[in-house]
Structure 1
Amino acid sequence: MNVNATGFMLQTMFFLVNHNATDLMQTVFNDPTPESIDSNEIKCYGAYGCFPIKYPWTSENRAHSVFPFPPGILDIKFATFTEKNRKIPKMLDLNDPFTILRAGINSTHPIFFITHGFLEYGGAPWLKKLTEELLTYDKYATVIVIDWKSGSSPPYYQAVANIRLVGAIVAHMIFSIYEELKLENLDKFHLIGHSLGAHMSGYAGHYLQRDFQLRLGRITGMDPASPYFAGTEEVVRLDPSDAKFVDIIHSDASMFVEGGFGIKQNIGHIDFYPNGGDNQPKCATSLNMACDHVHSVELFTESINSKCPFMAITCDSYESFKKGKCSQCNRNGNYCFQFGFHSHQSYKNHFNQGRALPSSSLSTFFMTSPKEPFCKAHFKVTVKVTENDESRMHGGEVGFLYLKLKNSRKENAKFLVNQQSVHFGPGMNFTFLAIGDYIEDIKSALVDFKHKSTANPLTWRVFTPKVYLEYILIESMEHPSSGVLKLCPNHGHAILSGDAVNFVSSQKNWTKEVYVPNICVCGTATNCEIASTGGIADGSGGINPRIVATGDTNYYSGSLTESCQPVSTGLPIAASNQSSCSKGLDRCCQPLGYSCGLRYPPVANAPKPTLGSGQADYGGYPWHAIINGPNNTFIASGVLIDQKHVLTVAHRIYNLNMTTVEVRLGVYNRFSNSSDPFPTLIYNATYVIHPSFTAKNLKYNVAILTLSGSVPLGKYPTVANVCMPNTTLSNITCWVSGFGFPDQFTQTMVKTISEIDVPLVDTATCQRQLIATKLLGQDFILDPKHFICAGGQLQKDACFGDGGSPLVCHVYDRFYLAGLVAWGLGCGNFSVPGVYVNVQSFIPWIQQTIIAETPTTKAKPTTTSTIGNTTISTVAATKVNSTKSTTPKPTIKAAVKVTNKKSTTTRKWKNPA
């Protein structure tokens, strides 16, 4: 990226800002010092409002405040770029609404406003590069470059004043677009500003709320300026109230007297501090003093289309982060977010997965490469030096470790482990946080040692320097579900300097397939030690040796310090109490934090599925929900998406002639659960149907149920929420769980939850195969916004009674919700896929509905129900219709031949469940 022009201007800016106003006017610009202004004065600019300069605009941290230049002098320009006009923009004019209509703005896709800072202009190279990247990401998007160069000239305090009026004018332009294009809200508007441009974007968001009662979707501040803004009131600077989502990048947050120009304090919903927020690696040898300040732009621009995750994690400080104290995503109060352009979706994913984020601003940290591409993956590396006789006799070495990680796909990632030289002495442990190329499914590593010789004669070597390593532990921050990988040398020899040795995994980690948040398993009695004094579990029913202590002496755990040796390849058995464990095994607990979309190990004393019946394992689909009417009358299936909400299909509940329903979670057998190890949870639920639901064609076929209480996620292995998708999945085999018809001869639903595996089918193939049945007509079009397809294999399909059942896909060790059973042309016919609601398309509506849900009727009184030996709070649910529209009841006349999972029956078309 070419930043030379920006660097020159910003160097001048530093000079200007570090001098008082009078000196600048006399020695640089030779302009008269501004006349004294009464701090109580206010200057008004017509429709744009009035601008006072008294407190808080003049304060201890903003000693000098002046009025903005008039709009005519500012001469703000709005250059509009789209896919059709990437090079030559169309200009918008506030006084001519037709310029908006002729600009080619696609209101169904993002509308970006990007802007510069002090001493810059709208044609800056970085603005052109950013525009290109945004249009490459979404060719239907619109990018509007705000050029306010006439107001960005010295002195600095005048430019600071000018952005107040620039922000007001931008707000009026956004409102004009909103009116001319007849938009419902500003959710697709994203303002991106650098330095002073970041605060100007905040002003625009503020004025939109004050003058038009509209709220921007998002503001991104790229290293917002510090002078005249740090320590001021929120109205003076960018703050989280200026948009629904505000993300901040701090790249030059050193003290101003040390040359830093960016603000250090948290001012967004998420504040990203790459490399601690200052002293960027790229700029370590640069003579350009603005390098750190501009680096925020480079990082954000790269993040738009990068395949690298650009992962950041919350931590109490950058120092703690570098020590590896915050390397586990979404555990121990540390949350991971994608940095930059995709941070908003990452933020929403936490919400989708049922996590309650802190209400205060989140400080996140990550490390970058000194050269492009800047994005790297983070690895926590723990090194244990051998303490045998040979190692002790040698005495250790000073130097650097290098790792070259490898996986089964022959991919590799090489990186330096320790940035500073370390003395690797016998028996010593070291933990480092290192960065390297992104890699998954690590199998082995080449470990290399480089000796560092110094002026100290004691470091000189006659023979080749070497180190003795017992093992290396590796944790990937970007791929937390892989757990802790333990690598050991495949021989007992030392690592000679310059001669890499292969380290391989010596154990299997069941946490890659199953997960036990706050649940206990049965482990070997002799090796499952109390608290933190644990040892390796290598016997039958062995526990994962990477389990750490809980701090509770009643709990047991494994240890990280055992020597390398094989462990049991079998899965551990979940234990609700000590009596669940066989003789010779103890109850050992896994104290990791809860996460969505993860199955549990097999549960001790659980019901066993009948072989060949298609029944699922007990607790195999902990997100599956049942919606019942009076007397346990089945209505539909659904899926738990967070602690308070279940998602289902609208066509099963939109025409209910009853006022009460119930939601059940953790159900294995619909009629008999008194002997189950864990209870069925029963809740009431108000529900909202999508306002655009159409029964005739089953479009917008979704509904949200709000439970009467919060689900205790992580308490029972039979109840968990599924992960919500952030993209439409494809080319993968997924699973459907449900209680639908088993075959044509049994015209009743099954008692025990069943499962089938079905491959996803692309839209074109699905449409062609459905038309080939001659039941839909040649003009039938399958809308991919509303539907996805899966199946088409003989005797493998959802059927009547499965409506609302979740279609889940296993991606990166978690289960993500791809669809809900919607309709089909038969059950299990060859080359006739089933049709499912495309859940990913409705994520925005789901989020908005959950945030803004306002039930129009009160819930029914609570009763109790005894399930097994546990009494669960139970209350009937009340139907809540959307206030936006009503849907007529359909008349479905067409009936077609329908094939069940194993045979055939007859049912109405598009009413499969």
Structure 2
Amino acid sequence: MLLNILGFFIVLLEVEANADGCDGVIGCLPEKYRRVFGGVPIRKKPLSRFNLGGKSGGVIFNATWIEPDSSFSYLSNRSSTDDVFKKLNAKNKMVVIIHGWQIANTPVKEMINGKLTETVQLGTWQNDLEKVLFEKHDEVNVVIVDWRAGATVGYRGAMANTWIVARETVVFLKAFINRGLALEDIHVLGHSLGAHVAGIIGNNLKLEFGKKIGRVSGLDPAAPSYDEVPGAFMIDTHNAELVDVYHTDTKSRLWSNAGLPGQHGHADFYVNGGEDQPRCKKLKTISKQELCDHFSVVDYFVQSVKSPTYAIRCGSFEEFIAGKCKSCGRRKCAVAGYNYQPFGNHKDGKFFYQTTEETKDKCAKSTVFEFKTFGAPESFAKQNNVSLELKLVSNESKTRIIKDSSLLPTIFNSRRKTFSLVRPIPCGADIFPLERIEILLGDVQSARISFPIRQIKIFTIEPRPYRAKFKRVSRKKNVPIVFRRPTDK
């Protein structure tokens, strides 16, 4: 099947809403919304309809789908799109992708509505997601909502514009719904402020049709100034039959966190804990790290289309990383990302999973290491600057090194007989099943000190996990301490 692109550029005329905040096409601005966004603390009113910023003239909808014998683009105003809409296969699922605040993007000039217009460069993630959707899913329609004109003003101005953008998108979608697109086949997703636009769209369609759309996905929904906003104007569990939210920047060292903390969907996924992303720590400045944290979520979501990632329901990231939530039994796991799928009918909860930068798809298997010890001797607890490496050796002699000296305080200062920790291993590492595990300690000051670990259990967090137990067989000092499966000779 050939990929054919139909670009809908909705020509936005210079039409002001009347004194009552009403417009003949998108309807009236709710009084509650006007109180929230027109008064304290926002002090910003939405810009006039069709003039979201006055730069590009308004909202642009770029729609793409698979069609065997057609390839055309179309530029028209809202009243003359009927013939074009008939070309769409309304039986296909509709995925609507919405960007967030664009004030920091690179200034550019583009031909928009027949005019060379000053605007900003649109991020690439929307097109990346569209591309991978067509690679993996033929029967899908994709709409990219380009509202840069309303997103290049100050943050609170862009925040105030979210309702106008949502209403424009509702009008656009209704043209397809009236031609047979089922509400349950609509999936709206957005990043940052775009997540709240997605929520408003879902809420408005529910009010108009008396039924919820299929799904709304929020990618690190924007946090600043949303602590007092009513649920009707932000992402919320009432927006769709399924609302899934992905958190990557819920805590900041510089300013108010960019991403919304807390649980706001049926299923909330906290990637790498949801606060800071390991991939961003190598950046030189804290401000760049914070931006990286907030935008990492879109990369993870794009990659999730191709690589299934399993997340597990848990009370907190601290409990997850300590291995306290380690089994997918009793429907505790879910497939995270675009291909979201709960195990069983229990879709609600807080879920956690990890990623890796070692592979392009970022996919990692969260792997539990459970240690049994003799109890750490006092002499070992006093060791300083001791390094530790875990070497995993597969049955095919493939190896993987985990360098993690952060294990040492837990191993050597704990009197617990059993403790666990979770570390990510790339999905494509092909390291399992294991033949043995080796532990190498560096800078140990005395060869007489005994190593306290006597057994290691390992298992992956996934529906069909790899599970194995390894017992210590090596007794020599200053060489790798070897653990093998009990059945091995």
Whose helix proportion is higher, 1 or 2?
Answer: 2
Give the CA deviation at 1:418: 5.7
Aligned-partner residue type, residue 486 of structure 1: K
Correspondence for 1:501: 482
Unaligned runs of at least 5 residues, structure 2: 1-18, 53-57, 106-119
Give the CA deviation at 1:282: 0.7
Correspondence for 1:241: 238
Q: 3-state DSSP class of the match of 1:71?
A: coil
Q: 3-state DSSP class of the match of 2:352?
A: strand
The 1:239/1:405 distance shift into structure 2, 3 A limit, reads: farther
Q: Distance in 2 between matches of 1:189 and 1:443?
A: 44
1:192 and 2:189 aligned:
yes
Correspondence for 2:324: 325
1:216 and 2:213 aligned:
yes
The 1:502/1:114 distance shift into structure 2, 3 A limit, reads: same
Deviations 1:142-196 (A, max 9, x none): 211111111112222221111101101101111101223x33x222221121111
Q: Distance in 1 between matches of 2:272 and 2:154?
A: 31
1:350 and 2:356 aligned:
no
Correspondence for 2:296: 295
Q: Distance in 2 between matches of 1:350 and 1:174?
A: 31
Q: 3-state DSSP class of the match of 1:298?
A: helix
Please point out which of 378, 385, 388 is paired with 1:400: 388
Correspondence for 2:133: 134
Is the Cα–Cα contact under 8 Å of residues 280 and 292 in structure 1 kept in the other structure? yes
Please point out which of 252, 257, 260 is paired with 1:260: 257
Correspondence for 1:101: 85
Q: 3-state DSSP class of the match of 2:184?
A: strand
Give the CA deviation at 1:48: 1.2
Is the Cα–Cα contact under 8 Å of residues 456 and 483 in structure 2 kept in the other structure? no
Give the CA deviation at 1:73: 0.8
Give the CA deviation at 1:448: 2.8
Aligned-partner residue type, residue 274 of structure 1: V
Give 1:271-290 correspondences, 5 Å limit: 271-286=268-283, 287=285, 288=288, 289-290=290-291
Correspondence for 2:21: 43
Correspondence for 1:365: 352
Aligned-partner residue type, residue 160 of structure 2: A
Please point out which of 436, 439, 442 is paired with 2:433: 442
Correspondence for 2:422: 433
The 1:44/1:260 distance shift into structure 2, 3 A limit, reads: same
Correspondence for 2:471: 488
Is the Cα–Cα contact under 8 Å of residues 401 and 416 in structure 1 kept in the other structure? yes
Give the CA deviation at 1:101: 3.2
Q: Distance in 2 between matches of 1:255 and 1:224?
A: 14
The 1:59/1:319 distance shift into structure 2, 3 A limit, reads: farther
Q: Distance in 2 between matches of 1:90 and 1:248?
A: 34
Q: Distance in 2 between matches of 1:386 and 1:265?
A: 40
Q: Distance in 2 between matches of 1:92 and 1:368?
A: 43
Identity of aligned residues (%): 22
Give 1:77-156 correspondences, 5 Å limit: 77-83=60-66, 94-98=78-82, 100-101=84-85, 104-119=87-102, 123-156=122-155
TM-score by length of 2: 0.78
The 1:374/1:384 distance shift into structure 2, 3 A limit, reads: same
Q: Distance in 1 between matches of 2:445 and 2:452?
A: 18
Q: Distance in 2 between matches of 1:166 and 1:55?
A: 14
Give the CA deviation at 1:89: 6.2
Q: Distance in 2 between matches of 1:285 and 1:157?
A: 31
The 1:197/1:57 distance shift into structure 2, 3 A limit, reads: farther
Correspondence for 1:70: 48
Q: Distance in 2 between matches of 1:395 and 1:265?
A: 40
Is the Cα–Cα contact under 8 Å of residues 468 and 494 in structure 1 kept in the other structure? no
Q: Distance in 2 between matches of 1:238 and 1:115?
A: 13
Is the Cα–Cα contact under 8 Å of residues 191 and 220 in structure 1 kept in the other structure? yes
Give the CA deviation at 1:494: 3.7
Q: Distance in 2 between matches of 1:124 and 1:330?
A: 40
1:377 and 2:365 aligned:
yes
1:205 and 2:194 aligned:
no
Is the Cα–Cα contact under 8 Å of residues 163 and 200 in structure 1 kept in the other structure? yes
Correspondence for 2:16: none
Deviations 1:523-542 (A, max 9, x none): xxxxxxxxxxxxxxxxxxxx
Q: Distance in 1 between matches of 2:253 and 2:231?
A: 20
Count residues with an aligned counterpart: 437
Q: Distance in 1 between matches of 2:355 and 2:24?
A: 47
Q: Distance in 1 between matches of 2:336 and 2:399?
A: 24
Q: Distance in 2 between matches of 1:61 and 1:378?
A: 47
Correspondence for 2:314: 315
Q: 3-state DSSP class of the match of 2:311?
A: strand
Is the Cα–Cα contact under 8 Å of residues 81 and 89 in structure 1 kept in the other structure? no
Give the CA deviation at 1:373: 3.6
Is the Cα–Cα contact under 8 Å of residues 333 and 463 in structure 2 kept in the other structure? no
Give the CA deviation at 1:59: 8.6
Q: Distance in 2 between matches of 1:414 and 1:273?
A: 26
Q: Distance in 2 between matches of 1:172 and 1:486?
A: 59
Q: Distance in 2 between matches of 1:367 and 1:341?
A: 16
The 1:231/1:447 distance shift into structure 2, 3 A limit, reads: farther
Is the Cα–Cα contact under 8 Å of residues 455 and 483 in structure 2 kept in the other structure? no
- How much is the aligned-residue C-alpha RMSD, in angstroms? 3.5
Is the Cα–Cα contact under 8 Å of residues 444 and 504 in structure 1 kept in the other structure? yes
Q: 3-state DSSP class of the match of 1:384?
A: strand
Q: Distance in 2 between matches of 1:52 and 1:392?
A: 68
Correspondence for 1:834: none
Q: Distance in 2 between matches of 1:143 and 1:83?
A: 10
Give 1:531-570 correspondences, 5 Å limit: none
Is the Cα–Cα contact under 8 Å of residues 371 and 420 in structure 2 kept in the other structure? yes
Deviations 1:766-804 (A, max 9, x none): xxxxxxxxxxxxxxxxxxxxxxxxxxxxxxxxxxxxxxx
Q: Distance in 2 between matches of 1:89 and 1:282?
A: 39
Is the Cα–Cα contact under 8 Å of residues 468 and 493 in structure 1 kept in the other structure? no
Correspondence for 1:229: 226
Is the Cα–Cα contact under 8 Å of residues 195 and 219 in structure 2 kept in the other structure? yes
Deviations 1:246-292 (A, max 9, x none): 11111111159635211112111111111211111011122323111
Q: Distance in 2 between matches of 1:159 and 1:479?
A: 42
Q: Distance in 2 between matches of 1:410 and 1:109?
A: 47
The 1:381/1:218 distance shift into structure 2, 3 A limit, reads: same
Q: 3-state DSSP class of the match of 2:339?
A: helix
Give 1:596-635 correspondences, 5 Å limit: none
Q: Distance in 2 between matches of 1:338 and 1:196?
A: 25
Is the Cα–Cα contact under 8 Å of residues 406 and 445 in structure 1 kept in the other structure? yes
Q: Distance in 2 between matches of 1:281 and 1:62?
A: 37
Give 1:564-579 correspondences, 5 Å limit: none
Is the Cα–Cα contact under 8 Å of residues 34 and 45 in structure 2 kept in the other structure? no
Give the CA deviation at 1:502: 5.1
Q: 3-state DSSP class of the match of 1:350?
A: coil
The 1:87/1:248 distance shift into structure 2, 3 A limit, reads: farther
Q: Distance in 2 between matches of 1:447 and 1:49?
A: 67
Is the Cα–Cα contact under 8 Å of residues 38 and 45 in structure 2 kept in the other structure? no
Correspondence for 1:660: none
